[in-house]
Amino acid sequence: MATLLETAEAIEAMPDAAFAADGATVRDTLLHAGEFIMERWLQAQGVQPTLEQHEGFRLLALQRQAACADATFNACRESCRELVYQCNVADAANDTHERAQHLRLAASVTKHLALFIDGKLENKALGEFCCSSRPLRAQDNRAANPATSEDRN
């Protein structure tokens, strides 16, 4: 069975005409791949992946579930949302070339998500550099408000 990365690369290499006939299948494949990636992380953490949906997508619910336990998962929130967005835009596209472009981009985002999660499975701290990471937010707050409560006393 092909890996998720191989599947995404195969989708990226598909000719435009293939997306006209198989666009819905490709879309479903990419969304399920995203779900599988997030399920894999949750299961590795001993968490039962949710079957619920958020904003109509299970992928977004899985990302939220992962972020509740680990704030560094905010780093992949936009990747999950971008995957959903590109798939939706591809569905709405009237032009085969436009549909192909959006599904290829969705495949690229799927690869990015898979690589991020694989990296987190190796190094749990991956993603702490994210702009929404707590240490960076705290540092920004200290820079914006140099007077701390100790200075005021």
In this structure, how many other beta carbons lie within 10 angstroms of the beta carbon of residue 41? 23
CA angle 21, 10, 89 (to 5 degrees): 55
Containing 97, the helix (H) or strand (E) segment is helix 96-122
pLDDT digit string, tens, across residues 76-126: 889 999 999 999 999 999 899 999 999 999 999 999 999 988 887 876 655
Domain range holding 92?
A: 4-152
In total, how many domains does the chain have?
1
Tokens 């949710």 belong to 50
pLDDT higher at 12 or 135: 12
Structure tokens, 52: 């619920």
pLDDT digit string, tens, across residues 33-81: 999 999 998 999 899 999 999 999 999 999 999 988 777 777 788 999 9
- CB distance 12 to 104 below 8 Å: yes
Structure tokens, 123: 């190094």
Nearest partner of 127 among 78, 65, 59, judged by Cα? 78
Q: Is the pLDDT of residue 140 over 70?
A: no
**DSSP code per residue over 44-68:** HTT-PPP---BTTBHHHHHHHHHHH
Q: Strand, helix or coil at 4?
A: helix
